[in-house]
Structure formats: structure tokens, C-alpha cells
Amino acid sequence: MHNIGVIFRRELMSYFSTPLAYVFIVIFLALCGAFTFYIGGFFARGQADLEAFFYFHPWLYLFLIPAVAMRLWAEERKTGTIELLMTLPVTVGQAVVGKYLTAWFFIFIALGLTFPIWITVNYLGNPDNGVIFASYFGSLLMAGAFLAIGSCISGATKNQVIAFIMAAAVSFLFLMSGLDLVVDFFRGWLPGVLVDAIASMSFLNHFIAITKGVIDLRDLVFFGSLIVLSLFINVMLIDLKKAE
């Protein structure tokens, strides 16, 4: 725990000592607002809920989270600091988890800064705050899953642009896997069980389920196990490829 804490603090410092954190937060908030009010039609809907707000989160995360995740390991490898880090008395697991948790906490801050919209909707009407809380929770959980995939891919390359594109592409597959676009492609030649399995990987479906206000154990297990699995692969990749 001590080591994870040490890495967490160093990473967090590095987010806020460069423009990265500020640029990310401003863009995230601006896009959230723009989507909610213009495309989501927050006012026109005339309903006291935040569906128009949460609806766009998966799509924002699709390219914003890989942008946060791409530097996690690719940068360490590019600058050679990975050699410094990995020769400290710190395990690979502690380093992976420490870096991951920092990035997740950072997303948590960005997401938390959207609170004015929650105040707005409470001022305008009487929304179901339980549903809103569940949606925030689901959004954070989904962000964590995107982030774990991004971190894992970042560990496989020293090129941040490749890390970004690959993470966005893999995230896209996970996001869309419940939709006909992806499912139809597999339906013709894969057994039904596998098609169902692929369809059940959909971030979108799991996220939408949570935004209905029902935090189902299955959705938690899905995101949780995806995060754990990705980080596990992340650790193995770093172990195998750290010196390349």
C-alpha cells in the first residue's frame, strides 16, 4: 500500500504540473455541456433528469480516456524512466495499480466537476437523485474499464500515438459489441453462444443498465473483472517488454 501511495502521489503531481490536467478537464467539461444542451436537448426534453447528460459519456470517453491512458506506460518507456521505476524496490503490480488509480482518480475529479449540471437539474425540477447517483457511479466505473484497457495497451508500446489509436479502437469494439453493427458481423458464422457472449461485452448495454438506476451485480462484476483482467495483462506486458 505504501508503494502504491508513493506512486499515486508522484503521478498526480505530474498531471497537474503540466497543462495536461487542465486541458483535459476544460475540454471534457466543455464537451459534456455542449452535448447535453445542444445535441441532447436538455431543456427541450422538459424532463428533470440527466439522461441527456449521461447519454454521451461513453462517446466522450471513447477518445478522451485513451488520451489520458496513452502516456501511462508509453511515456515511461520512451523517456527511459521505466528503468528508474522498475529498479526501485517497487513491484510491477504496485506500479501498474498506482498509475492506474491516479488516472482513475483524475477522471473522478473531472467527472466531479460536472456537478453544476446536477445543481441545475435540482433547481429546475425534482429529479430522482438516486438514479443520478447511480449514473455517476456507472459512468465512473465505465471510465475505469476504458482506462484499464488503455493502460494495458500503453504498456505494449513506447509510441503514444499508437497507444492512443489502439486503445480507442479496442474501446470502440467493446462499446459497440452489443449493437447490430458488430453482432451481425459475427452472427453468420459463430455459434449463438459466442455471439451472445460478444454481445454481452457491450459497455453501452452495461452502462445504460446502470443509468436506469439499477446497480445490478452483473454489471459491477462485468466492469470489475474487465478492469482486473486488463491490469493483470498490463503487469505481464510490462514484465515482458519493459526493456525493449
Instruction: Note the residues at the interface with another protein (CB under 8 A).
Output: 2-3, 6-7, 9-10, 13-14, 17-18, 79-81, 83-84, 86-91, 242-243
Least separation in angstroms between residue 14's CB and another protein is 5
- Output 19 or 191, the one with its CB closest to another protein: 19
Nearest to 135 by CA among 45, 28, 53: 53
- Output 89 or 188, the one with its CB closest to another protein: 89
Least separation in angstroms between residue 78's CB and another protein is 10
Cα 100 from chain centroid (whole Å): 10
Nearest to 41 by CA among 26, 29, 51: 51
Nearest to 20 by CA among 110, 95, 100, 85: 110
- Output 84 or 221, the one with its CB closest to another protein: 84
Cβ atoms within 10 A of the Cβ of 100, count?
26
Least separation in angstroms between residue 102's CB and another protein is 13
Q: Is residue 58 within 8 Å of residue 102, measured between CB atoms?
A: no
Least separation in angstroms between residue 24's CB and another protein is 15
CA 195/CA 178 separation, integer angstroms: 10
Tell me the angle at which helices 71-79 and 92-112 cross, rounded to the nearest 10 degrees.
130
Q: Which residues of 43-67 are buried (b: 16+ CB within 10 A; e: fewer)?
A: eeeeeebbbbbbbbbbebbbebbbb
Least separation in angstroms between residue 52's CB and another protein is 37
- Output 159 or 205, the one with its CB closest to another protein: 159
- Output 3 or 47, the one with its CB closest to another protein: 3
